[in-house]
Amino acid sequence: MLLVVAGLLVVPTTASPASAATTAPCDLYASGGTPCVAAHSTTRALYGSYSGRLYRVQRWSDGASTDVGTLSAGGYANAAAQDSFCSGTSCTITEIYDQSPQHNDLTIEGPGGNGAQDFGANAAALPVTAGGHKVYGLYVSAGVGYRDNTTSGVATGSQAEGMYMVTEGSHYNDRCCFDYGNAETSGNDTGNGHMDALNFGTECWFPCSGSGPWVQADLENGLFAGGNGSWSSNTGRGGAFVTAMLKNNGTSTYAIKDGNAQSGSLATRYDGALPNTGGYTPMHLEGAIVLGTGGDNSNGSVGSFFEGVMTKGYPTNATENAVQANVVSVGYTKAQTFPVSGATYTIKNVHSGKVLDAVNCGTGNGTAIDQWSSLNQGCQQWKFASAANGTYTLTNVNAGKVLDAVNCGLADGTKVDLWSSLGNRCQQWAVIPTGGGRYELVVENSGMVLDDKDCGTADGTEARLWQWLNNDCQEWTITTP
């Protein structure tokens, strides 16, 4: 049956892979004898014949939801349907559907042993091009996570499995834990060997080689670059888009690979024995699936997710090479044209209607930042300049100092101020669209967003940092004075 919601055609929930018309990653894994038991993507079908739902979005304005499916069997996401449904408001990704017959769908993660209730991702945050089509990736900032604790077919105990994901090589931090893979069913750390998940970032539990970011294995109570933790051949993988791969036979061996998701082949970073430091041989997998957080819901990390699968069994090298070639064929690209580096803007909070302001037009290091009615002066104007990995520094025109996270704080409620430029991630800001000319401003060191304190509306209301909460107190317009 077809369902029409708000004038949009929603695909039926019973769609499932049949005989493939084109070849996609799960077809390749099946041909290699290691079928997918989970297949998640907001950008495309991962079976050549799949024509079902990819993900669900919920509108902020009225709470209505709709599913985003493919344009055709084996094709790409219908981003235009999302744009139409979310027009004039913002949307949250509330569910990512499993394309495999196991139906291991991911919903917004609840509280865990090391993290409070998570929030869904801003649905408009990560527009990219795949297969020549506009699609949306999943943008994970601090406090965003998805999970399924009651899965079917996912490896448990010491069963073998493999997995891959495509992520953004420039979006990461050194906080725990941007993971995709097998985790605990309780949301708690239940011991060594109870996880088997891909991790991408610059967090190092053991001495790392190179400058990162790294694809590592989160096996619980450790991010492993190889061997017992450190491995000199795992020197990191940057770039626009990264393919990350992990496989584990559950009893003796694991392997880590990475590659440029836009071109070329995979690099084997490690292929050898599981850690012999206790609890990892054999593994003790529980079979939950986590995306964006650690197994205990440690949720301070950031990252981008476009597609990923988990398999039954230990994939062959030939299968993984074929999957990498398939990923490359997608042609993932991203273009960023706004804000314009070198241009000056006024930043207004959507909820309060007040603009970002240097208190009393202060010019010294430590000058506090608040919101104030627009006075059309340099104390309320900000010059954007390109920084690392597509971020910006925001320099107050009057003071000549940059917007800064006080003491590089990581906690909710961290204040922002003005400070001389130090060239660090505490002063670098990602400008992330939420739709309709609105944006969130994400500081790179913590993944926290610029927030209107307590959703205040009075002159003098403090601007601060907080985890993403999916409300307009964290949305800003950026316009020329």
Residue pLDDT, tens place only, 108-135: 999 999 999 999 999 999 999 999 999 9
Please name the amino acid found at residue 156: T
The residue among 1 and 305 whose pLDDT is bigger is 305
124, 84 in Cβ contact below 8 A? no
pLDDT-based confidence at residue 22 (cuts at 50, 70, 90) = confident
115, 145 in Cβ contact below 8 A? yes
Q: Is 296 a catalytic residue?
A: yes
pLDDT at residue 336 in the model: 86
245, 266 in Cβ contact below 8 A? yes
Q: What is the pLDDT of residues 326-354, one digit of tens each?
A: 999 999 999 888 999 999 999 999 999 99
**Confidence check: pLDDT of 472 > 60:** yes
* Residue 150: both structure tokens together: 């009651």
What is the pLDDT averaged over residues 140-148?
97
The pTM for the full model equals 0.93
**Confidence check: pLDDT of 4 > 70:** no
Catalytic-labelled residue, pool 118, 296, 307, 370: 296
pLDDT at residue 218 in the model: 98
C-alpha of 57 from chain center: 16
Catalytic-labelled residue, pool 109, 118, 179, 220: 220
Q: What is the pLDDT of residues 37-78, one digit of tens each?
A: 999 999 999 999 999 999 999 999 999 999 999 999 999 999
**Confidence check: pLDDT of 12 > 80:** no
Distances (CA, A) of 470 to 94, 114, 143, 223, 463: 11, 21, 11, 30, 17
DSSP label at 380? G
Q: How many CA atoms lie within 13 A of 190 on its CB side?
A: 19
Q: Is 220 a catalytic residue?
A: yes
**Confidence check: pLDDT of 138 > 50:** yes
Q: What is the pLDDT of residues 357-409, one digit of tens each?
A: 999 999 999 999 999 999 999 999 999 999 988 999 999 999 999 999 999 99
Which domains are seen in the chain, by residue range?
17-330 (2.60.120.200), 344-479 (2.80.10.50)
**Confidence check: pLDDT of 302 > 70:** yes
